[in-house]
Structures are given as C-alpha cells and as structure tokens.
Chains A and B, each alone.
Chain A
Amino acid sequence: MPRKLKITVDTNVCVGNATCEIFAANTFALNEDRQSMVVNPDGDPEEKVLEAAENCPVSAITVADAETGETLFP
C-alpha cells in the first residue's frame, strides 16, 4: 500500500497556472475561479504529486506524510 499524503494548496499564492493539473491530473483540478484544489490525495503515485509540487511556479503546494506529518515538499 502506498503511504497516504497530506497535500495542501495555498490559494493565496496559487496563480492558476495549472501546472499541477498537468503533472498529476487525478490529484489536482482547477475550480471555477481557476484555483487549484486537491480533488483526490490518492489520485496519483507519490512521485507525480511531488513532481507537481516541485514544478508549481509559485511554490503553492506542500506535501506531507499524512500519518507521520513528515514534510515531503518543500
């Protein structure tokens, strides 16, 4: 079983660039205001989620291990 992730998007920072949606399409989706939302934290493999977080141009995404709380990104 892959570990559970706690993924957050800081909507004060998100500029609706949609990069996260491109890298991890089953995890992130842009809402009507074109702000990123986590629609399913188990939607994609962990590396995809981390890749999305790393490539967000404004570093709006944080990823942690849901059980231990350990920060995985940044």
Chain B
Amino acid sequence: MVTAINDDLFSPAVVNDPYTYFSQLRDEDPVHWNEKYELWVVSRYADLVWVTRHPEFFSSEWWKKDPRGPYPEIDESDLGLYQYVREFFSDWFIQHDRPEHTEMRMVVHSYFNPKAMELWRPIVQKAVKSLLDEAEERGSMDAMKDFAIPLPLLVIAQMMGMPNQDRAFIRELAEKLLFLGRGELNRMQPLTDGIKGLLEYLSPIVAERVKNPGEDLLSVLAIGEKKGIYTRDEVLANAVLLLLAGHETTINLICNGTLALIQHPDQLASFREDPTGRTVRATEECLRYDAPVRSIQRIASEDVELGGKMVRKDERLRWFISSANRDPEVFPNPETFDIARYPNPHVAFGSGIHHCLGSTLARLEGQEALRLLVERFPRLNLEVPARDLSYQPSITFRSLKSLPVSWN
C-alpha cells in the first residue's frame, strides 16, 4: 500500500531524519510532485546524475526564471525585498547556464585546481592544530562553534586576503545568508541585511584589488572585471558566493563527520588505528553518509520526461543529495557507515558542469580536520544525549545547531 507522503519538507521529522523520509520516497515515488511547494522532488541517484548532466533541460537560473513565488510563502510586505534578493543571487555564476557559466567559472577555476590547493595543506594543518590546542586547554568543546566553523572561515578569508580580525564580523553576516534554504515567513529581511552588509564590507576592498591586484582570490575575480567578463556588481556577488560556499558547506562536513564517528565507535576505532592511511576514504564516507548539502534546485527549460513523469517547462525541481547518497541501487548497505567503503561514488559535490568548484579544498580541510581530531583525542564522547541534537530547519544545508563533545 502506498502511504501518504508528507510534503512538508521543513517539518522537524524531515529536517532531523531525512533518511527515513527519502527511503520511502525513493521506493514509492522517486520523481515526486510536491503539491505543497509546487516542486518536483528527485530522490534516486540515477535521476540526480541525469538531471545534473543535462543542463540543457534543467537550467540553474531559477532565481531569475521562476514564474512561481518563493516557497514556503513569505510575508506579502516583503515582496520588494524578495525582488532585491532575487536580483542579487541571479549574478552568482552557480546561477548561470552556458555559455555565460563557462566564461564566469573559468575566471576562478584554475585557482582551485588540485595542484594549487595542495599548497594549502600545511596552512590547514597548522590552523587545525591551533584550534585543537585551544580546545584541549578548555577540556571540552562545541565542535560546531569551536572547531567546524573557525577552520573553513579562516581558510577562505585568508584566500581572499581579508584581515584576520574581520572574521567574526564576516561570519555574522554570512549567517544571515543561511536563511537561503529556510522556511521562515520573514526570512527576506535577514537575507537582505546579510547581502547589504557584505556588499558594504567588500566594496572598498574590491575597488582596491581592481586597482592593485595581488595573488589572492578576490584579485582573481577583480581581474575578471578587467577582462570584461564580470561587471563590478558581479565581482561583488561572486565574492559573496565564494565566501559563503567556501565555508558553510565545509563546516557541515567537519561537524557531521565528527558526529558520525562518535556514533559508530567501531569505525572510530578503526580510523584511529591508521589515521593517515584511512583518512581519504573516511572523509569520502562522511561526505556520503551525512552529506553537508542536502539538496540543490533547477528549473526545466522545456518539457522533459524524467522517471516516467512529465516535467513541464518552467517547473522547478530539487535533487536530494541526502537521498541519492543512500540509494541501494548504487551503495551496498547504504545505511551503514563504513569508513573503508570503496568505491564510493557519492554525489555530495553534485555532478556535471556545476560540480563543486571547491571540492578539492573541502576534501583537504575535511581530511585534515578529522584526521588530526582523531589523532589528538583517542576517546571522543557526546556531551549531550543524541536526541537533544538538532538541525537548522534548512532544505539546503545539513547543519547541526551545536555539537558538544569531550574526550575523557
């Protein structure tokens, strides 16, 4: 019998345990029309890959093109703010199709290539060690606030050549942008405040880098303006994209990975036996098992059949990484956390032409954070009962509110 499918993707049941919800959806209606939010929900691995590899049918320009209003609905008096937010996000290159996407991405693509990123490993190691030193002195930590957040923030701020003392301020503004994937009626206000604050902060720095470019990532964007590929507004918007994508996601890799290890003591023990040898596969398994990004959106460019359903032009669609990464068609024993899993073709970074630009950096940060954590603290415990842990009510990020741990 087919049970009714709960279409409230923001309900605590779905937010806290997406895995039970999506395993039902994958079985019963893998390409599901979510009536409540007027949205196709794609849950199988094969369909996710097909969608991401056919950008000609599934456009990334949904902020610009969506003829429907925002979902969940927003306060009517905020429609002006919605317009502002929408125009801002439309400048992100993640929100562009070919040919503009290629041109815009290529400005920064080589900066992130695997060889270039490897040079950051010692910097990341040093930063992880100093965070662990501070934690060890205190005797316990909130792995979210004291470990997972500071590391990626430090790295991306350093890449962009931003002064160290600005980090707390940057984070405060970036947190407002996390309302992106949330459902609150009045979310357009914090989004607008976050955008305006970051633009105000970045404008003078960018103006300076256009005049005097250096080797940093902001300068790479600024050179894109000099070459006529970006307007100034686009430089600023894409600086915000890199800043946000560059830390929020990796935070969740570190935090969710730490939690998965604590909750699977046999896997933690096995990791501890050979941290250096096992870190790569362990990190990949963390990316699969409790993926930092839950889902990503597209909008259909024409009528197209998907999994036996007819998706009509201008209909929106979301593909769920949290679901595809647990698809039994691809992963044997998908609910098992196995740090030696291989092969592990998870889609935590998406797939196709928009495949994560920062994947090498994210992997590197995740590997060093998890490896050094396990080496430092042979015993790791949760400081609160697991049922007290809760997640931000977002359909984009799989983000714990806090993760108190100790090592006694």
Contacts and interface: CB of A to CB of B under 8 A. Distances in A.
B19 interface: no
Interface string A14-55: 011111001000000000011000000000000000000011
B139 interface: no
Interface string B324-354: 0000000000000000000101000101110
A12 interface: yes
A19, A54, A59: residue with the most chain B Cβ atoms closer than 10 Å: A19
A33 B53 contact: yes
Interface residues of B, number: 22
Contact of A15 (B54, B112, B343, B352): B352
A16 B113 contact: no
B214 interface: no
A55 B110 contact: yes
Contacts of A72: none
A55 B351 CA distance: 16
Interface of A: 12, 15-19, 22, 33-34, 54-55, 57-59
Nearest to B350: A15
Given A54-B115, A55-B109, A12 B352 contact: no
30 contacts: A12-B343, A15-B349, A15-B351, A15-B352, A15-B355, A16-B52, A16-B53, A16-B351, A16-B352, A16-B353, A18-B352, A18-B353, A19-B109, A22-B102, A22-B106, A33-B53, A34-B53, A34-B54, A54-B113, A54-B114, A54-B115, A55-B109, A55-B110, A55-B113, A57-B114, A57-B355, A57-B360, A58-B355, A58-B359, A59-B114
Contacts of A55: 109-110, 113
Which label, helix, strand, loop or mixed, suits the secondary structure of the A interface? loop
Secondary structure at the B interface, as helix, strand, loop or mixed, is: helix
Interface in B84-127: 102, 106, 109-110, 112-115
Contact of A17 (B110, B115, B343, B353): B353
A21 to B, nearest CB: 10
B357 A57 contact: yes
Nearest to B52: A16
Contacts of A34: 53-54, 352
A23 to B, nearest CB: 9
A57 B359 contact: yes
Given A55-B109, A57-B360, A16 B355 contact: yes
A16 B48 CA distance: 13
A55 B116 CA distance: 10
A23 B343 CA distance: 28
A34 to B, nearest CB: 4
A19 to B, nearest CB: 7
Contact of B355 (A12, A17, A22): A17
Contacts of A12: 343, 345
Contacts of B352: 15-18, 34
A61 to B, nearest CB: 11
Nearest to A30: B53
